[in-house]
A and B are shown apart, each in its own frame.
Chain A
Amino acid sequence: MVAAVLLVVIGITVALILFFVGGYNRLITLRNRAKNAWSQVDVQLKRRHDLIPNLVETVKGYLKHEREVLENVVKARQQAIDVRGVAETAQAENMLSQTLRSLFAVVENYPDLKANQNMLALQEELTSTENKIAFARQFYNDQVMAYNTVIQQVPWSVFANTFNFEEMEFFEVEEAAQREAPKVTF
């Protein structure tokens, strides 16, 4: 009788331990996935930063009278490189996107530049990089959501507190700022 009770108790203990070890590992997996997704975003952001000097170099010769637009792009790029943290990065990158958009709006007025082979290739690369950033961000946010959802749910919420699993930040885009039409004088 005692032996039977003991067996049951041991059985339950082992099951509980297995359950929590499994849960812990799952949290780790989810967190690492989200972190890895962030590094994907980071790779694409860096790529954009790397493309910009090339773009400025190509455009510079043509845009003699729109120095300001170019300077804004360069400034926004530097800012985006300097910031740390998800929310700050998001904000700086949105700024950069906006300045790039104004630049492309200006480029529209230069048919020679628009037809430039180098410019065409750069435009495809920048468009694609913008897309990649958007898709990487989407994937990152999905992973963060999966992770955050788990650590907010019982029993993992208690567990997450004890073992310091913190909620991760979403990469938010300021929709309003993104949609703002570029202000171009003509």
Chain B
Amino acid sequence: MYEQIARNKRHSALLVLAVVILLMVLGAVFAGAVEAPWWTGLAGASVAAGITFLISYYGGSAILLGVSGARPIQKRDHPQLFNVVEEMAIASGLPMPRIYIIEDSAPNAFATGRSPDQAAIAVTRGLLNKLSRDELQGVIAHEMAHIQNFDIRLSMLLAVLVGSIALLCDLFLRMVRHVRIGGDDDDRGSAGLQVFFLALGLLLAIVAPIFAKLLELAVSRRREYLADATGALLTRYPEGLASALQKISDDPEVLEVANRATQHLYIINPIKSFEERAAGLFDTHPPIQDRIRRLHEMAFKGDSRPASAVSTAGSAAPTVSGAASAAASAIAGTPGPAPAGLPDAEAPLPPAATDVTAAADVLKAVGPLAAAAHPPCPRCQEPLLTGGLGRFPMFGCRQCGGIWLGGAAFETLLREAPEKLDAADHRFPNLIGYGWDRVSGRKCPTCAQALVPYQVTEPAALWLDRCPQCSGLWFDDGELSAIAGTARREQQVSQATRI
């Protein structure tokens, strides 16, 4: 993650440099074309850019918040939002930003402000209503990352530079009509040079604004990836943001307060509909699925907190149906674009599932799951994370630490690799502090049937919840470990006595 951030910063710096050089070259060439001293064009361009920058630097964020209809809030207005922002401020070591709410039911958010001291984060009402606490935290971490990386200042700088280039080119195209070749000078060589500059100037005047705009958009997309990575570093839980992005992009509602001028600010481009969000050159944001895929990949790098070590199945295909189709393509002999298999909880993400039988197993097991990608936790209704244990699919709850496993998968793993079950339980820590209570009204995450109590006596005596239809089992936090731990010890004892 750290290297990703460093590389991204280098690229951004290079792109800004490219735009600045372009502006300077344009100034000089245009001046040459109209036979003015070369530096006048350069100075003129710089002064115009400077003035625009000062205005947006000091007035920009107030204008933006005003245009978006954002309203400042206090802690009592929304304690949870306030707490989440405060948590992220602590994690990043930055001062607490001001918080705004936009009364709009489409879920989205943006950050603004020229420096971390002056920063503000605005979220829509829809975002607050639709996201879970973890997802909200992911989004806020992303916005906090924009603040920490000075992205707001960078995008402002770029917008001004690009605007100045457009202005300069426009000015030149108007002036060109009044230029007389050779002027008062009799020297043919000088006139030749001027014709050359004129031609070059005309070409640049047409190409440069487009080129500059493309560079600006490229920087904008890079900064989105960077903010995703930095945000993941803050929460140490990339899954939260990944799941939030999925939810926001699946949401059919359109943000009414956004327009062309403010679209690049939001966490997800609010103007384009989902189908149109392709990886185009003219996009302010990278494609959502790619962002989600990168977040999932981060989740598998070891430096995150334990819960994130197990994450969703096919990483580019967060929906299980996607994972299933990817698995199907693996069976057909063409490895899917995404890692298809449900990866082992401990192993790093395999590049693609090549084991045909494993893929078939996955496909069979995943079949009934295809309806819901992130079914609610039977216990606390939090969306479950999908993961894999060996070649079996598994669901885990980030909040209560519970685990859902197929009945056959449980039996097999208990026999063959109890240590894996034990490890899987420890990967989902219990964040709420629930005990092993029996709560009625629990539903199977795969077939939505009501779960029935089910007693296990071997190797440990425990009451579990079982689905009468698919015979899947629900383990509250610690239950799986209690069973697997006993099994493992028994295995060790039997091995020891055999020797």
Query: Which A residues contact B (CB, under 8 angstroms)?
Result: 37, 40, 44, 100-106, 108-109, 121, 124-125, 127-128, 130-132, 135-136, 138-139, 143, 175, 178-182, 184, 186
* B39 CB-CB contact with A under 8 Å: no
Beta-carbon contacts under 8 Å, B21-70 to A: none
Which among A121, A128, A130, A184 is the interface contact of B436 at CB below 8 angstroms?
Answer: A184
Interface segment, one of B78-86, B221-229, B275-283, B321-329 = B78-86
B91 touches A184 (CB 8 A): no
Contact with A along B456-499 (1 / 0, CB 8 A): 00000000000000000000011101100000000000000000
* B211 CB-CB contact with A under 8 Å: no
A181 touches B478 (CB 8 A): yes
Task: Please report the C-alpha to C-alpha distance between residue A138 and residue B235 in the assembled complex, in whole angstroms.
Answer: 10
Task: Please report the C-alpha to C-alpha distance between residue A108 and residue B433 in the assembled complex, in whole angstroms.
Answer: 9
If the complex has contacts A135-B87, A138-B236, are A181 and B436 also in contact, measured as CB distance less than 8 A? yes
Which among A138, A143, A179, A184 is the interface contact of B435 at CB below 8 angstroms?
Answer: A184
Which of B79, B86, B90, B434 has the most C-beta atoms of chain A within 10 angstroms of its own C-beta?
B90
Q: Which residues of A contact B433 (CB under 8 A)?
A: 100-105, 182
Task: Please report the C-alpha to C-alpha distance between residue A29 and residue B269 in the assembled complex, in whole angstroms.
Answer: 40
How near does chain A come to B434, taking the closest CB pair, in angstroms?
Answer: 6
* B130 CB-CB contact with A under 8 Å: no
How near does chain B come to A173, taking the closest CB pair, in angstroms?
Answer: 10
A181 touches B430 (CB 8 A): yes
Closest to A175 in B: B306
Q: Which residues of A contact B90 (CB under 8 A)?
A: 40, 44, 132, 135-136, 139
Which among B91, B429, B434, B438 is the interface contact of A138 at CB below 8 angstroms?
Answer: B91
* B426 CB-CB contact with A under 8 Å: yes
Chain B residues within 8 Å of chain A by Cβ, number: 32
Query: Which B residues contact A (CB, under 8 angstroms)?
Result: 79-80, 83-84, 86-88, 90-93, 133, 234, 236, 306, 426, 429-439, 477-479, 481-482
Chain A contact residues: helix, strand, loop or mixed: helix
Task: Please report the C-alpha to C-alpha distance between residue A181 and residue B433 in the assembled complex, in whole angstroms.
Answer: 8
Task: Please report the C-alpha to C-alpha distance between residue A106 and residue B432 in the assembled complex, in whole angstroms.
Answer: 12
Q: Which residues of B contact A105 (CB under 8 A)?
A: 433-435, 437
Task: Please report the C-alpha to C-alpha distance between residue A102 and residue B92 in the assembled complex, in whole angstroms.
Answer: 31
How near does chain A come to B309, taking the closest CB pair, in angstroms?
Answer: 12
Which of A121, A128, A179 has the most C-beta atoms of chain B within 10 angstroms of its own C-beta?
A179
Task: Please report the C-alpha to C-alpha distance between residue A61 and residue B437 in the assembled complex, in whole angstroms.
Answer: 21
18 contacts between A and B (CB under 8 A): A100-B433, A101-B430, A102-B433, A105-B437, A108-B439, A109-B437, A124-B79, A125-B83, A127-B432, A128-B80, A135-B88, A135-B91, A136-B90, A136-B91, A138-B236, A182-B434, A182-B478, A184-B437
Closest to A178 in B: B429
Q: Which residues of B contact A143 (CB under 8 A)?
A: 93
Q: Which residues of A contact B133 (CB under 8 A)?
A: 127
B435 touches A108 (CB 8 A): yes
A181 touches B482 (CB 8 A): yes
How near does chain B come to A90, taking the closest CB pair, in angstroms?
Answer: 16
> Which 10 pairs across A and B sit closest by C-beta, in order of nearness?
A181-B478, A105-B435, A184-B435, A104-B433, A101-B433, A128-B83, A135-B91, A135-B90, A131-B87, A136-B90
Task: Please report the C-alpha to C-alpha distance between residue A106 and residue B434 in the assembled complex, in whole angstroms.
Answer: 8
If the complex has contacts A101-B430, A128-B87, A175-B306, are A37 and B93 also in contact, measured as CB distance less than 8 A? yes
If the complex has contacts A108-B435, A184-B437, are A124 and B83 also in contact, measured as CB distance less than 8 A? yes
How near does chain B come to A38, taking the closest CB pair, in angstroms?
Answer: 12
Closest to B235 in A: A135
Which of A40, A108, A109 has the most C-beta atoms of chain B within 10 angstroms of its own C-beta?
A108
A179 touches B429 (CB 8 A): yes
Closest to B439 in A: A108
Task: Please report the C-alpha to C-alpha distance between residue A136 and residue B86 in the assembled complex, in whole angstroms.
Answer: 11
How near does chain B come to A86, taking the closest CB pair, in angstroms?
Answer: 18
A181 touches B481 (CB 8 A): yes
If the complex has contacts A37-B93, A124-B83, are A186 and B88 also in contact, measured as CB distance less than 8 A? no
Task: Please report the C-alpha to C-alpha distance between residue A125 and residue B478 in the assembled complex, in whole angstroms.
Answer: 25
B434 touches A104 (CB 8 A): yes
Task: Please report the C-alpha to C-alpha distance between residue A37 and residue B94 in the assembled complex, in whole angstroms.
Answer: 11
How near does chain A come to B352, taking the closest CB pair, in angstroms?
Answer: 33
Which of A109, A128, A184, A186 has the most C-beta atoms of chain B within 10 angstroms of its own C-beta?
A128
Closest to A44 in B: B90
Q: Which residues of B contact A132 (CB under 8 A)?
A: 83, 86-87, 90
Task: Please report the C-alpha to C-alpha distance between residue A100 and residue B432 in the assembled complex, in whole angstroms.
Answer: 10
Task: Please report the C-alpha to C-alpha distance between residue A135 and residue B141 in the assembled complex, in whole angstroms.
Answer: 12
